[in-house]
């Protein structure tokens, strides 16, 4: 499999990465949906990576260099529907990989993750702690999980942001609750489709509809929380997806 490593095309076996396209060590990353080999909201993702890199003391290339390399890997490794991942480690190395992606076609049943989680406003790797939350939910016969922080507030999904309808208003937790500033989340806030407020875990029973949102899933309807059925807001999900595509070059 071809990847871009430090701005040059390589076979993945030639670079310090695992077969799934993750760099060894630690750093930050962006995961981006591609449609017809064009990346969704690439500029926003690169801007977020630069913000995190600056705050964490990680050196990453200029936006122009990243964009050129992304164009090269998308042309070299073509996917009808794909997932572009760009990793930047804390040793100034970086890697871009383009993998196939399968849409999630059904709504999801989620649970509240049983342990409090320290959230993060940066998208860091290794990502195993988040993937473990997802795997534990699936082992318990759920599709995903909602995490709670140590202050008792809802944060996000295992690997996604979270929005909920409470008293007829769509809300999403603030980054001050240690929530990743996701790109879809950012677009919904800018367009005033959701408001930002903390959601105490004891308000879970007040949630009537909810979605997991991310740059890959766009809007993934939640059909139940801890086996309590929710209303499936199909129209709102379609509105989110349409707005997401408006900001996409795919």
What are φ and ψ of residue 157, in 5° steps?
A: -80, -175
Mean pLDDT to the nearest integer, 46-56: 98
pLDDT band at 250 (very low <50, low <70, confident <90, very high): very low
Domain end, chosen from 84, 100, 116, is at 100
Task: Please check whether residue 219 is in contact with residue 211, taking contact to mean a CB–CB distance below 8 angstroms.
Answer: yes
Same domain, 127 and 203: yes
Q: What is the mean pLDDT of the chain?
A: 96
Residue (of 243, 236, 246, 242) closest to 163 by Cα position: 236
Domain enclosing residue 131, as ranges? 108-246
**What local confidence, expressed as pLDDT, does residue 9 receive?**
98
Two structure tokens written together for 78:
């073509």
Percentage of the chain with pLDDT > 90? 96
Query: Is 163 a residue whose pLDDT tops 80?
Result: yes
- Peptide bond connecting 126 to the previous residue in cis, omega within 30 degrees of 0: yes
Same domain, yes or no: 78 and 139: no
Query: Could you tell me the sign of the dihedral formed by the alpha carbons of 171, 132, 85, 62, in that order?
Result: positive
Instruction: Say how many CA atoms lie within 13 Å of 163 toward its Cβ.
Output: 29
pLDDT for position 249: 56
**238 & 119 share domain:** yes
CA 180 distance to own-chain centroid: 8
Domain harbouring 53, CATH code:
3.30.470.10
Picking from 35, 70, 100, the residue at the C-terminal end of a domain is: 100
Q: Could you tell me if 49 and 114 lie in one domain? A: no
- The per-residue pLDDT for range 98-118, each reduced to its tens digit, is 999 999 889 999 999 999 999
Domain end residue (candidates: 100, 129, 145): 100
Total residue length of the chain:
250
Q: How many domains does the chain have?
A: 2
Structure tokens at 8: 């040059």
Tokens of 213: 């949102």
Question: What would the mean pLDDT of 141-145 be, rounded to a whole number?
Answer: 98
**238 in the same domain as 133:** yes
**73-77, 117-121, 197-201, 244-248: the lowest-pLDDT one:** 244-248
Distance between CA atoms of residues 227 and 88, nearest Å:
39
In a shared domain, residues 165 and 57: no
Average pLDDT over residues 226-249: 91
Share of the chain above pLDDT 70, in %: 99
CA-to-CA distance for 182 and 237, rounded, in angstroms?
Answer: 17
CA 155 to chain centre: 13
Model pTM above 0.85: yes
Give the mean pLDDT of 84-90: 98
């Amino acid at each position: 499999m071809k990847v871009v490593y430090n701005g040059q095309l390589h076979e993945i076996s030639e670079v310090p990465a695992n077969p799934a396209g993750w760099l060894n060590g630690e750093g930050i990353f962006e995961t981006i949906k591609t449609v017809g080999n064009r990346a969704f909201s690439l500029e926003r993702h690169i801007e977020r990576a630069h913000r995190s890199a600056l705050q964490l003391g990680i050196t990453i290339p200029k936006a122009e260099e990243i964009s050129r390399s992304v164009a090269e890997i998308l042309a070299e490794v073509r996917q009808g529907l794909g997932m572009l991942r760009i990793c930047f480690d804390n040793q100034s190395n970086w890697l871009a990989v383009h993998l196939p992606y399968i849409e999630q076609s059904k709504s999801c049943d989620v649970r509240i993750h049983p342990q409090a989680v320290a959230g993060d406003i940066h998208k860091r790797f290794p990502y195993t702690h988040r993937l473990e939350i997802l795997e534990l939910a699936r082992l318990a016969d759920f599709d995903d999980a909602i995490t709670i922080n140590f202050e008792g507030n809802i944060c996000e999904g295992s690997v996604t942001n979270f929005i909920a309808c409470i008293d007829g208003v769509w809300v999403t937790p603030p980054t001050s609750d240690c929530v990743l500033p996701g790109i879809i989340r950012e677009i919904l806030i800018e367009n005033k489709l959701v408001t930002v407020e903390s959601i105490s875990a004891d308000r879970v029973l007040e949630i009537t509809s909810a979605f997991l949102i991310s740059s890959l899933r766009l809007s993934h309807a939640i059909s139940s929380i801890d086996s309590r059925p929710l209303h499936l807001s199909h129209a709102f999900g379609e509105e989110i997806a349409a707005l997401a595509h408006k900001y996409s070059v795919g």
